[in-house]
């Protein structure tokens, strides 16, 4: 089930506002999560310096990439959810 189908069901379930308040609350929570991940990413990036080499450095870089992908997915969901309440 894709996000548009879910949002369609949410809108049909709630009163005339279409669950607008609930959707806005979810968007706010997702925005906070994205901001937190951005902070985590920046801290990890700053902790990698020239003294880290080999597998340790690669592990940090891999973790940063994973966090960035997660943040991007959250940003995509935020955009879709915002589109449903406008």
Task: Compute mean pLDDT per 10 residues along the chain, 86 residues long, and list them.
Answer: 70 66 83 87 75 76 87 87 76
At 45 the pLDDT is 77
pTM of the model: 0.57
Residue 29 host element (H or E): helix 20-47
Write the CB contacts of 75 (distance below 8 Å, at least 6 apart in sequence): 34
At 76 the pLDDT is 87
Write down the domain spans for the chain.
24-85
DSSP state letter for 14: S
């Amino acid at each position: 089930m894709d996000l548009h189908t879910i949002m369609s069901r949410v809108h049909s379930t709630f009163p005339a506002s279409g669950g607008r308040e609930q959707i806005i609350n979810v968007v706010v929570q997702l925005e906070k999560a994205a901001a937190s991940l951005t902070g985590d990413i920046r801290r990890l990036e700053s902790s990698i310096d020239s003294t880290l080499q080999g597998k340790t450095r690669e592990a940090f870089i891999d973790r940063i990439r994973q966090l960035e992908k997660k943040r991007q997915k959250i940003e995509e969901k935020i955009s879709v959810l915002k589109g449903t309440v406008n």
